[in-house]
Amino acid sequence: MTNQRSVSRVCPFCEATCGVIIEVADEAILKVRGDREDPFSRGFICPKVYALKELHDDPERLRRPLKRTPGGWQEISWPAAYREISARLLAIRKKHGPDAIGMYAGNPLVHDLAFLYLPVLGRALGSHNVFNAGAIDTLPREVQTGLMFGGPFPATIAVPDIDRTKYLLIVGANPAISHGSLMTMPDAPGRLKNVIARGGRVVVIDPRRTETARLASEHHFIRPGTDAAFLLAMAQTLFEEGLVRLGAAAGMVNGLDSVQHCVRDFTPEAVADYCGVSPAHIRRIAREFAAADGAACYGRLGTCVQKFGTLASWGVELMNILTGNLDRAGGVMFPRAAAPVTALASTRPFELDRSKSRVSGQPKVGGMNPSSAMAEEMLTAGDGRVRAMILLMTNPLRSAANSRELEAAFRGLECLVAMDFYLNETTRHADFILPTPSPAEQPNYEFGLYHLSVRNVAKWSWTAVAPPADSPPAWEVMLQLGAGLLGFEGRQTKALDDSVFAQLAQTAVKNNRHWEGLSVEEVVSGLGDSIGPERVIDMLLRLGPYGNGFGRNPSGLTLERVKDAPHGIDLGPLEPRLGEIINTRSGKIELAPFPMVDDLPRLRGHIASPAIAEQMLLIGRRNLRTSNSFMHNLPALVKGRNPCTLQVSPHDASRLGIADGSEARVTSRVGSIVAPVEVTADLMPGVVSLPHGWGHDLEETRLSVAKAHRGVNTNFLTDNQAYDAPSGTAVLFGTPVTVEPAPESNAELSGPGSRAAGR
């Protein structure tokens, strides 16, 4: 008898949290469709959603642990894997100390409940060599909001109130394709169109005329890496023209005079040539922004993974604060998460680390080294050298800057443990690959993203199909790896989890501000016999602002109540709550923190340097149908035209003598690759664009579909020594390159790694 059912959940493949219905018969996924009854997404989905089925069905997805042996890969049992891994790691730690084992977690972990167990594993590891994946993504924003509001991230991120705004200024983000980031909103294209439909404006600032730009009221090209100057020139205009109004932030800020002083020389005229945006446009956009009845400035990767990521993020925030749009309907607002994960975080105000990374002195944040320091920390001898790594759902040999150097570094490790379900470019170096179930086989609650959503919502994701009987979820694997490092290898998961939970409950009760008289014992006994992250989420929901307060508010939320609403619960539009957010030492929003002020001379130096304007700059590009590097083995998502092309403007193409459809060699300080050329007027002259996550040409991987759609790896070009000074974030956008025609014969000389030659 077939057991047919419809399972409701949230799609885990980007930050939009679209509701989906998965049609299942027995343990087969028949179909995935948008959930029209989801109050937040109302049926919207994008093509990536099919990866729920395709990933599940992929015959090359690993289902059992693999161990490297002299005779090749060998399947082993989970208990054997835990036992052998703990023996190997403990031996390395005994000989070389705790810093000899590093750890690095990638993007998909954010969408897995196991993310809650990352600090647990981190503590068991006790190493200074934890590497920060934020340093190829969100870190400048984390540092900027941390310094201004006091943290913790992500609770201090104010998101555009997109459903009410009258003016949305998008600087360096492409939500029509990415579907939003640090801004959770299903149906980004629809919401953008609605801003215009209600008489508002959407203005896009981007070196590429993007899919978002096409939906917008207006688009301006900008030279990569110059946004900080552009945004500070708008702030200067606000001061000069008497347009500064603090609104809800009045009386809650420090340093307004300092900001005025800092931006005085960033006049629109002084920065226009540098940015490639005319002074008239800069002034007009600043005036319109200030005059709008609700305006929101939003920046994402284009203002983060660039030369001045922290300053550009500061500029974005200043625009919102100086025009009174912080904490205002139609401006930018702080979501109120039903399960506030920040209850588990430190309440100490955010500070930048004083120590730097061991080898090249890159900035550390939150005790973590930036991902760009990974290779050198493995390759450079001395105390604290990394000799073993634990990777959690990441493919740094395709996603991190200067991935060719990482290749050598990973090859030289004494032990590599990768929790991953593909044998790919990175995991091929592993000694143990630990595949956790496919997303459809696991429950989920997007606790992190609901801190960033444009409406307050709560939704449980149900398991669609049962995982194989002996296939532990990622949180259990992490718990067992941690136990192994503490010498508790072989202990029962429940016993381990109870002691972890007791600690989490202690922190949560200590941080609790909602409910009087709550005790740890009450929390622990109130959650009965449950286990794992579900128990943690249940605690957070009960303790949270809509919670039942462990009986103090009987009609409030519990996990059971959330589960009882299969399509999700809408908790209403964003509401003002600035007073609850500020967590700085001064109790005020710090408008001019010293790390920003101290970085201004670097920006002024860049503006004054004449050579800058001559450089050809490489930026990235995202693909609607795949996410980062791990969906390229799914036939439905990679069929059709090759998206991995080098986009070049017609002006540059004719100047350089490269034709559409030909091949070009692109060379940076660290590497050189050959890529097919697409000539398009969508690119600003002086800028070329190549997507990331490709370059699947290595024999040893088990990715036969991806190999047939290999593309080239742009991170052979990005430079791990180029980073944003305050945060240590890699410059992935704005890499100086030379571009030249690639004669067929030259291209054939290229070595492994998508016809790329190291230099």
Residues making contact with Mo ion (CB under 5 A):
137
Pick one of Mo ion, ligand MGD, ligand SF4, none as the site partner of residue 620 (Cβ within 5 to 8 A by kind). Answer: ligand MGD
Pick one of ligand MGD, Mo ion, ligand SF4, none as the site partner of residue 45 (Cβ within 5 to 8 A by kind). Answer: ligand SF4
| Shortest Cβ 255–ligand MGD spacing (Å) | 25
| Shortest Cβ 137–Mo ion spacing (Å) | 4
Q: Which residues contact ligand MGD by CB under 6 A?
A: 14, 48, 106-108, 112, 133, 136-137, 171-175, 177-179, 181, 205-208, 210, 222, 224-225, 227, 300-302, 306, 393-396, 398-399, 419-422, 424, 435-436, 439, 619-620, 622-624, 627-630, 692-693, 714-715, 718, 732-734
Q: Considering beta carbons, is residue 41 or 750 the nearer one to ligand SF4?
A: 41
Q: Considering beta carbons, is residue 186 or 736 the nearer one to ligand SF4?
A: 186
Pick one of ligand MGD, Mo ion, ligand SF4, none as the site partner of residue 300 (Cβ within 5 to 8 A by kind). Answer: ligand MGD
> Residue 210's closest CA among 619, 546, 732?
619
| Shortest Cβ 48–ligand SF4 spacing (Å) | 4
Pick one of Mo ion, ligand SF4, ligand MGD, none as the site partner of residue 49 (Cβ within 5 to 8 A by kind). Answer: ligand SF4
Exposed, middle or buried by CB within 10 Å (0-12, 13-18, 19+), for 130? buried
Q: Considering beta carbons, is residue 203 or 571 the nearer one to ligand MGD?
A: 203
User: Does a cis peptide bond (omega within 30 degrees of 0) precede residue 741?
Assistant: no
Q: Which residues contact ligand SF4 by CB under 6 A?
A: 11, 13-14, 16-18, 45-46, 48-49, 179, 186
Q: Residue 736 is encoded by which pair of tokens? A: 């100086």
As a whole number of angstroms, the longest Cα–Cα distance in the chain is 76
> Residue 180's closest CA among 294, 289, 298?
298
Query: How many other C-beta atoms can be found within 10 angstroms of the C-beta atom of residue 184?
Result: 24
Please list the residues that pair with 679 across neighbouring strands.
648
| Cβ contacts of 81 within 8 Å, gap of 6 or more | 65, 67, 432, 434
Q: Considering beta carbons, is residue 439 or 728 the nearer one to ligand MGD?
A: 439
Q: Considering beta carbons, is residue 260 or 627 the nearer one to ligand SF4?
A: 627
Pick one of ligand SF4, ligand MGD, Mo ion, none as the site partner of residue 210 (Cβ within 5 to 8 A by kind). Answer: ligand MGD
Residue type for 580, please?
A: E
Q: Considering beta carbons, is residue 15 or 425 the nearer one to ligand SF4?
A: 15
Distance from chain centroid for Cα 428: 24
Contact 183, 159 (CB under 8 A): yes
Contact 593, 148 (CB under 8 A): yes
Distance from chain centroid for Cα 387: 27
| Shortest Cβ 136–Mo ion spacing (Å) | 7
**Residue, CB closest to Mo ion:** 137
Pick one of ligand SF4, ligand MGD, Mo ion, none as the site partner of residue 331 (Cβ within 5 to 8 A by kind). Answer: none
Q: Considering beta carbons, is residue 15 or 227 the nearer one to ligand SF4?
A: 15
| Shortest Cβ 173–ligand MGD spacing (Å) | 4
| Shortest Cβ 691–ligand MGD spacing (Å) | 8
Q: Considering beta carbons, is residue 327 or 697 the nearer one to ligand MGD?
A: 697
| Shortest Cβ 439–ligand SF4 spacing (Å) | 10
The b-or-e profile of 279-313 (16+ CB within 10 A means b, else e) is bebbbebbebbbebebbbbbbbbbbbbbbbbbbbb
Q: Residue 658 is encoded by which pair of tokens? A: 């490269």
Positive or negative: CA dihedral 494, 497, 503, 506: negative
Contact 144, 415 (CB under 8 A): no
Query: How many other C-beta atoms can be found within 10 angstroms of the C-beta atom of residue 57?
Result: 13
| Shortest Cβ 302–ligand MGD spacing (Å) | 3
Pick one of ligand MGD, ligand SF4, Mo ion, none as the site partner of residue 222 (Cβ within 5 to 8 A by kind). Answer: ligand MGD
Pick one of ligand MGD, Mo ion, ligand SF4, none as the site partner of residue 425 (Cβ within 5 to 8 A by kind). Answer: none
Pick one of Mo ion, ligand MGD, ligand SF4, none as the site partner of residue 18 (Cβ within 5 to 8 A by kind). Answer: ligand SF4
| Shortest Cβ 464–Mo ion spacing (Å) | 25
Cα–Cα distance, 149 to 487 (Å, whole number):
40
Q: Nearest 5°: phi and psi at 9? A: -160, -175
Q: Considering beta carbons, is residue 92 or 139 the nearer one to ligand MGD?
A: 139
> Residue 413's closest CA among 62, 129, 754, 701?
129
Q: Considering beta carbons, is residue 179 or 328 the nearer one to ligand SF4?
A: 179
| Shortest Cβ 142–ligand MGD spacing (Å) | 13
DSSP annotation of 281? H
| Shortest Cβ 657–ligand MGD spacing (Å) | 25
Residue with tokens 């809408």: 570
Residue type for 183, please?
A: M
Cα–Cα distance, 143 to 304 (Å, whole number):
11
